[in-house]
Chain A
Amino acid sequence: MTALAAGVAPAVGLRRATRAYRAMSRAAFRSLVAYQTSFLFGLLATTLAAVAMLYLWRSVLAAGTVRGFDWPAMRAYLLVAFVAGSLVSSYVDYRMAGRIQQGDVAMDLVRPVDYQKSRFAEALGFGVYELGTGLVVAAAAAALFGGVPAPARGGVVPFAVSAVLVMPLRFGIVYVSALVVFWTRNYVGVQSARIALVTLFSGGLVPLAFFPGWLQGLAAALPFAGMASTPALLYVGGLSGAAAWRAVAVQAAWTAGLWWLGRAMWRGASRQLTVHGG
Chain B
Amino acid sequence: MARIEADDLRKVFRRPDKGPGLAGSLRHLVERRYTEKAAVDGISLRVDAGEAVAYVGPNGAGKSTTIKLLTGILVPTSGEVRVNGIVPHRHRIENARGVGVVFGQRTSLWWDLPVRDSFELLRDMHGLGAAEYRENLDRLVEMLQIGDLLDSTARRLSLGQRMRCDLAAALLHAPPIVYLDEPTIGLDIEVKDRLRTFLRQVVAGGTTLVLTTHDLGDIEDVCSRLVIIDQGRIVHDGGLRQVIETYARERVMHADLASRPVSLSGVAARLPGATVTEERDGLGVAVAFDPLAHTAAAVLSALQQEAEVVDLRIEEPAIEDVVRRMYAGQLDAAPGERTGT
For A33, the chain B residues whose CB sits under 8 A away are: 21
- Decide: A37 and B25 in contact? CB cutoff 8 A: yes
Counting residue pairs across A and B whose Cβ atoms lie within 8 Å, the total is: 8
Q: For A40, what are the chain B residues with a Cβ–Cβ distance below 8 Å?
A: 22
| B side interface size, CB within 8 A | 4
Measured CA separation A23–B274 after assembly (Å):
61
Is B340 in the interface zone, CB < 8 Å from A? Answer: no
Within 8 A of B (CB), among A157-191: none
Q: How far apart sit A201 and B307, CA to CA, in the bound complex (Å)?
A: 89
Question: Chain B residues near A11 (CB, 8 Å)?
Answer: none
Closest to A33 in B: B21
Please tell me if B20 contacts chain A, counting CB pairs below 8 Å: yes
Q: How far is the CB of B20 from chain A (nearest CB, A)?
A: 7
Q: Which residues of the partner chain A approach B22 to less than 8 Å between Cβ atoms?
A: 36-37, 40
User: Which residues from A are CB-within-8-Å of B21?
Assistant: 33-34, 36
Q: In the bound complex, how far is the Cα of B21 from the Cα of A37, in angstroms?
A: 8
Question: Closest CB of chain B to A119's CB: distance in Å?
Answer: 25
Interface string of B1-38 (1 = CB under 8 A from A): 00000000000000000001110010000000000000
Give the nearest-CB partner of B26 in chain A.
Answer: A37
**Residues 14-51 of chain A, each 1 if its beta carbon lies under 8 Å from chain B, else 0:** 00000000000000000001101100100000000000
Bound CA–CA A40/B21 (angstroms): 12
Nearest B-chain residue to A36, judged by Cβ = B22
Q: Are A34 and B25 in contact (CB under 8 A)?
A: no
Report A265 CB to chain B, min CB distance, Å. Answer: 30
CB distance from A125 to the nearest CB of B (A): 16
Nearest Cβ on chain B to A44's Cβ, whole angstroms = 13
Q: Can you name the residue of chain A whose Cβ is closest to the Cβ of B20?
A: A34
Chain B residues, Cβ within 8 Å of A37 = 22, 25
| Chain A proximity of B16: nearest CB distance (Å) | 13
What chain B residues lie within 8 Å of A36 (beta carbons)?
21-22
Interface, chain A (partner B; CB < 8 A): 33-34, 36-37, 40
- A-binding residues in B (CB < 8 A): 20-22, 25
The 4 closest A-B pairs by CB, nearest first: A36-B22, A37-B25, A33-B21, A37-B22
Pairs across A and B, CB under 8 Å, 8 listed:
A33-B21, A34-B20, A34-B21, A36-B21, A36-B22, A37-B22, A37-B25, A40-B22
